[in-house]
Amino acid sequence: MSGTPSLSESAWQRRESAVRRFEDAWRTEVTPVLEEFLPPGEPARSDALLELVITDMEYRWQRNAPEAIESYLGRFPELAGNDDAVADLILIELQLRQRVDPAATIADYVRRFPHLAKKLSELAAASDAGSSHTQQGWRGTGLATGSAAGPMRGVLPNYEFLEELGRGGMGVVWKARQLGLDRFVAIKMILSGSQASQEEMQRFQAEAQALARIRHPNIVQVYEVGSWLPAGSSERLPFIAMEYVDGQRLDRICAGMPMSPLESAELVQVLAEAIHGAHELGIVHRDLKPANVLISVPGSASSSTSSSDARASPGLSLADCVPKITDFGLAKRLEDDGAQTHSGALIGTPSYMAPEQARGQSRTVTPAADVYALGAILYELLTGRPPFRGTTIWETVDQVIHTEPVTPRALQPRVPRDLETICLKCLQKSPGRRYETAASLAADLARFLRREPIHARPTGPVERLFLWTRRNPLVASLAAALLAAIAVGFAVVSYLYLQAAANYAAAARARDDKAQALRDLVEQQAETRNALQRARSALERISDRVVEESFSRHPRLTEADKQYLRQFLADYEELAQQADDSTAARHLRAEGHARIGRLRQRLGDVGEARAAYEVAHKLDDELLGENRHDRTARRRRAEVASGQGQLEERTGNPRGAFPHYNSALEDYRQLAEEDPNDAAARRGLAQTLLNLGMLHRALGQLNESRRELNAASRELDHLTTRQEADHLVQRMRADAHNALGVVARQAGDYLAAEKAFQASIGMNEILVRQEPSNPGHRRRLAMVFGNLGNLQLINLRQANQAESAYRSAIKLQTPLAAEFPGISEYQQELAGSLNALANVQRATRQLARSSETLNEALEIQARLVSQYPDIPAFEHELALTRANLGGVMLGMHRLAEAKSLLLLAAANYDRLIKADPEFPQYRFELASCLNNLGHALLQSADLVEAETAHRRALAMRLRLLAGAPDVVSYRDETTKSLESLEEVLRLLGKAEAAGECRNQLERLRNKSSKP
């Protein structure tokens, strides 16, 4: 539909990111401030505003703390000037109010917003056009009068009016008793010609004519079509007396919850058979949806002797009930010339309408539109949500036309694959690719229920790849990057076509349906060529930077996102295996495997990532063996080696990263020497030097670390001087200064460390101001504040400044943890900053506050260890917090609690050291924990165990100091251990051993005092 508004990709991403973060913040049980989530710039801000306000309304009503529409309009004047937006808000609030107050009507809003009276009346009438006539399903708008049964007496002589079921802008539905036949009926009537437009009158007549022609047990039956004369009027108005269904609407029964696959298939099979009966009479419903399916209890609908209160319970099995299709108000006769609807008119309910309806092509709507709607109903029954649902009508319409639905199995893995295939065939964008008839759909569902092979063909690998990119707008840039992976397939397309043709030809000769097989082949090849052509176009625009930036702005991938990515990669890997061995094919295959490795690493698929990297590395080795001047292969090999190094680091094998980083360093240096103007090569060189510097620092190799980090800084300064410093270079410069600060601190140069941290903070603050929506910038800034706080607290003894630094970090990390609750690292880092703040409070003798802060951190970390028991970093943080809290308990003389916490922490550290005996940080922290445990045991008068704890702590510290004599903190902590052990030995009467401790202590002090 040409009039449908669309967003640019970046604006779409910013809006969706804002809404997702806002929803995540609401789920944390903390009331977020809406203004903080508005994306900067237009059109993203305007597009996100209405959706954010609607989200805010929904959550506030859920928590019984609603905010009036007028309040939102005061806060956001741009909304107040948009009548359409205000009307949308009114209708949404009305729906929310009616959940708790069924008597609420739109008349209340007409009084509050009199300038919108006409628009609200029109919207109310339009919403009523598709409403059910059951009592539960109807909510009156309050715009018409005459709600009591009394004034209707005598209007229709053969009927006794019992109660009003509901009313709208033009009509009313009554429950009545047909006197002659003694049965309940539903009477739908026009109240006033002046309140009904010509189009509405035509739709009313269309419903009467359509229903009158249909006789099917699963379609509401019409008993009589007639007219009545309102008092004081000369104009007769139509009415319909139809079957009264005593039950509930299907949408109320489902209530957003999935049904069982078998029950869903059985129900839609019945509906498909019913609607096929209408199609055979030349009638297309055009508004099939769960709200237009009534579920009745057998034996309760017709006889006046049955209980009028009998209702289908949500807990009642649908197998015991009778579904009835109703509301043919939008029905179209196929032989009709279309005069009733204008070209371009939007006919139907957006979440369930077919794309051709969404485009306003009402004259060309065929039974295929109802098949689509049945697929949408099946989708909702299986997943608990319709295939498309935007926050506005036009957003939903845009999704229906342009977006592929998320597969049902991605939302509900228990959905059988065959049933998913049936559902998705119904939801094809092209009418010609759906089931030819509703009867065909019913037959395939029957086959599924009988466990027979279905006729629908599941989508193939290449088609799935292309559909994935259409149905994931939240990661649109990532999807574009993924399309690039199909590049490897370009070189083998011809080969695959020939192979596929041969296979199909052989199969056709072996089967009687040769013609159909060939038609399938032509269709599949056309689809594949179409998808690959789109991929070629995407390749011209994307790069790995797109992937990185997508992850930096949308760091949280849902399980559905991950499943799609993994399916994409599996399909691609299968395709790539069949490529030939030409140079071009190997280049493309190597590029594809390199991308697979990076994405697998992002998804946490370590084994698959390692295997993909190895394939890419081997291919590039071969290519460079044939042509050592192949810069493309050399650059890619360097990138892959860097990825392999990062993978080894993150999986607890830091020393295993060195050969990969050194390999990358050699390739990047050669690229930079061959072409000094190659900025990408120099960036890669700088990043690899950074990686090596930080790896050396983590292993306590300070001189090597300082050497690599200074080299990285020189490269980055060179890029900055040449005005090639984009955000990536600026981020790397900030990282380099932060790492230099850490190394300087470990070397005892505290003023240099403070200077480096302050420089890094300044650079990161610039990045945050330039890209406030990028969570990575905020995360890195918080980490540097934490490092500065550690320096100020422990080394510079500046407790007040340290507390300020830690609080700055927490101020950044708290909203990050709320915005992205699924990102474990954000929770981990927040807990780490709380831990550090508690250390300040402990140092300033605020022990009660320190205990509270540590318990807050402990709660986060215990939850992380429970969720991710195989991630060493989380157990490490838990151990550190337990050790710190144990120290606080020791200071408060709560010795039993102190010993318990310190022993638990020591057990954590022992497990960590057993898994990675070479990582020095574990031993350093365990030694501190044991030292505190020794003090607690000493205060408990358990001198023997205190000696054991102090001796073990001393042994660890001496080992660390021997391996890294330049690390000042190792020397300082060893001194403390010797002092503590000497004290315990003297109390035990071991004077000789205590004297040896004193001598060792003096030797250490003398050595450290030498220049």
Beta bridge partners of residue 729, listed in sequence order: none
Q: Which residue has the higher pLDDT, 340 or 943?
A: 943
pLDDT at site 344:
36
Average pLDDT (221-239) is: 76
Q: Please tell me the least confidently modeled range out of 74-78, 246-250, 618-622.
A: 74-78
Cα separation of 487 and 532, whole Å? 9
Q: Which residue has the higher pLDDT, 688 or 336?
A: 688
Cα separation of 531 and 538, whole Å? 11
Q: Which residue stretches of 627-657 are H helix?
A: 631-650
Domain assignment present for 152: yes
Average pLDDT (900-906) is: 93
pLDDT tens digit sequence for 655-675: 888 999 999 999 999 998 888
Q: Which residue stretches of 281-428 are H helix?
A: 355-358, 367-383, 393-402, 408-411, 417-426
Q: Would you place residue 536 in the very low, low, confident or very high pLDDT band (cuts 50, 70, 90)?
A: very low
Cα separation of 122 and 177, whole Å? 32
pLDDT at site 462:
43
Cα separation of 646 and 657, whole Å? 7
pLDDT at site 199:
60
- Asked if residues 888 and 850 have their Cβ atoms less than 8 Å apart, the reply is yes
Which long-range contacts link 718-722 to residues 24+ away (Cβ below 8 Å)? 718/682, 719/679, 719/682, 719/683, 719/686, 722/679
Q: Are residues 895 and 979 in the same domain?
A: yes
Q: Are residues 348 and 436 in the same domain?
A: yes
782, 789, 791: which is closest to 803 by C-alpha?
A: 789
Domain assignment present for 788: no
Six token digits for residue 391: 């926050």
pLDDT at site 137:
32
Q: What does pLDDT average to over the chain?
A: 76
Beta bridge partners of residue 185, listed in sequence order: 176, 243
pLDDT at site 13:
58
pLDDT at site 850:
93
Average pLDDT (399-421) is: 86
Q: Would you place residue 780 in the very low, low, confident or very high pLDDT band (cuts 50, 70, 90)?
A: very high
Six token digits for residue 953: 């702590």
Q: Is the pLDDT of residue 808 over 60?
A: yes
Peptide bond into 416 cis (omega under 30): no
Spatial CB neighbours of 171, under 8 Å, sequence gap ≥ 6: 128, 188, 189, 190, 191, 196, 204
Cα separation of 979 and 973, whole Å? 10
pLDDT at site 128:
43
Beta bridge partners of residue 284, listed in sequence order: 332
Q: Are residues 402 and 518 in the same domain?
A: no
- Angle subtended at Cα 82 by Cα 77 and Cα 84, rounded to the nearest 5 degrees: 145
Alpha-carbon separation of residue 359 from 254, 400, 433 (angstroms) = 29, 9, 18
pLDDT at site 614:
92
Beta bridge partners of residue 225, listed in sequence order: 240
Domain assignment present for 640: no
Cα separation of 290 and 760, whole Å? 57
Q: Is the pLDDT of residue 608 over 90?
A: no
Q: Is the pLDDT of residue 822 over 80?
A: no
Average pLDDT (75-80) is: 81
In the chain, the percentage of residues whose pLDDT exceeds 90 is 27
pLDDT tens digit sequence for 915-936: 888 888 899 999 999 999 999 9
Could you give phi then psi for residue 176, rounded to 5 degrees?
-140, 165
What is the number of other CB atoms lying within 10 angstroms of the CB of residue 934?
A: 28
Residue 945 falls in which region: left (phi positive, over 0), alpha (psi -120 to 50) or beta = alpha
Helices (H) and strands (E) in the chain, counts: 41, 10
Residue with tokens 């089931």: 435
Q: Is the pLDDT of residue 897 over 60?
A: yes
Average pLDDT (638-651) is: 87
Q: What letter represents residue 55's amino acid? A: T
pLDDT tens digit sequence for 500-517: 444 444 444 444 444 444
Average pLDDT (89-97) is: 81
Spatial CB neighbours of 32, under 8 Å, sequence gap ≥ 6: 22, 25, 26, 818
Q: Please tell me the least confidently modeled range out of 86-90, 656-660, 661-665, 820-824.
A: 820-824
Q: Are residues 264 and 229 in the same domain?
A: no
Average pLDDT (593-615) is: 81
Mark 772-796 as b/e (b = at least 16 C-beta within 10 Å): ebbbbbbbbbbbbbbbbbbbbbbbb
- Asked if residues 305 and 355 have their Cβ atoms less than 8 Å apart, the reply is no
Q: Are residues 532 and 549 in the same domain?
A: yes
In the chain, the percentage of residues whose pLDDT exceeds 70 is 71
Q: Which residue has the higher pLDDT, 30 or 836?
A: 836
Q: Are residues 858 and 979 in the same domain?
A: yes
Q: Which residue has the higher pLDDT, 395 or 164?
A: 164
Domain assignment present for 534: yes
Spatial CB neighbours of 202, under 8 Å, sequence gap ≥ 6: 340
- Asked if residues 624 and 586 have their Cβ atoms less than 8 Å apart, the reply is no
Q: Is the pLDDT of residue 18 over 80?
A: no
Cα separation of 274 and 258, whole Å? 23
* DSSP three-state, residue 615: helix
**What H or E segment, with its residue span, contains residue 333?**
strand 332-333
pLDDT tens digit sequence for 136-185: 332 222 222 333 444 455 567 788 888 877 654 456 788 899 887 888 99
Q: Is the pLDDT of residue 264 over 90?
A: yes
Q: What letter represents residue 84's amino acid? A: D
Q: Are residues 111 and 223 in the same domain?
A: no
Six token digits for residue 435: 């089931």
Cα separation of 945 and 58, whole Å? 60
Peptide bond into 43 cis (omega under 30): yes
Q: Which residue has the higher pLDDT, 273 or 169?
A: 273
Q: Is the pLDDT of residue 535 over 60?
A: no
Which long-range contacts link 113-121 to residues 24+ away (Cβ below 8 Å)? 113/86, 115/83, 116/83, 116/86, 116/87, 116/90, 119/83, 119/87, 120/87, 120/90, 121/169
Q: Which residue has the higher pLDDT, 310 or 68?
A: 68
- Host domain of residue 203: 144-244
pLDDT at site 895:
92
Six token digits for residue 929: 């924990």
Domain assignment present for 547: yes
Torsion over CA of 717, 723, 728 and 729, rounded to 10 degrees?
Answer: 0
Cα separation of 412 and 257, whole Å? 11
Cα separation of 60 and 295, whole Å? 32
pTM for the predicted model, two decimal places = 0.41
* DSSP three-state, residue 303: strand
Q: Which residue has the higher pLDDT, 654 or 832?
A: 832
Could you give phi then psi for residue 190, rounded to 5 degrees?
-80, 130
Q: Is the pLDDT of residue 330 over 60?
A: no
Spatial CB neighbours of 894, under 8 Å, sequence gap ≥ 6: none
Q: Are residues 97 and 154 in the same domain?
A: no
Six token digits for residue 791: 């320096």
Average pLDDT (5-32) is: 61
pLDDT at site 439:
95
Q: Is the pLDDT of residue 990 over 90?
A: yes
Six token digits for residue 217: 């047990």
Q: Are residues 283 and 417 in the same domain?
A: yes
Domain assignment present for 801: no
**What H or E segment, with its residue span, contains residue 325?**
strand 322-325
For residue 821, give the DSSP letter: T
26, 57, 45: which is closest to 815 by C-alpha?
A: 26
Q: Please tell me the least confidently modeled range out of 2-16, 668-682, 741-755.
A: 2-16
Average pLDDT (715-729) is: 69
CATH number, domain with residue 433: 1.10.510.10
Domain assignment present for 982: yes
Q: What is the number of domains present in the chain?
A: 5
Q: 440, 458, 476: which is the final residue of a domain?
A: 458
Q: Which of 24, 47, 287, 620 is catalytic?
A: 287
Q: Is the pLDDT of residue 446 over 90?
A: yes
Q: Please tell me the least confidently modeled range out of 212-221, 687-696, 749-758, 948-957.
A: 212-221
Q: Are residues 996 and 917 in the same domain?
A: yes
Q: Please tell me the least confidently modeled range out of 139-153, 240-254, 294-308.
A: 139-153
Beta bridge partners of residue 227, listed in sequence order: 238
Domain assignment present for 326: yes
Q: Are residues 225 and 164 in the same domain?
A: yes
Q: Which residue has the higher pLDDT, 650 or 751?
A: 751
* DSSP three-state, residue 219: strand
CATH number, domain with residue 208: 3.30.200.20
Cα separation of 905 and 903, whole Å? 5
Is 735 an active-site residue? no
- Asked if residues 272 and 445 have their Cβ atoms less than 8 Å apart, the reply is yes
Q: 405, 438, 458: which is the final residue of a domain?
A: 458
Q: Is the pLDDT of residue 559 over 70?
A: no
Q: Are residues 419 and 281 in the same domain?
A: yes
Q: 70, 102, 128: which is the final residue of a domain?
A: 128
Beta strands in 144-303 (DSSP E): 159-167, 171-178, 183-190, 222-228, 237-243, 247-249, 283-284, 293-296
DSSP state letters, 418-483: HHHHHHHHHT-SSGGGS-SSHHHHHHHHHHHHTTPPPSPPPP-HHHHHHHHHHH-GGGHHHHHHHH
Cα separation of 14 and 21, whole Å? 11
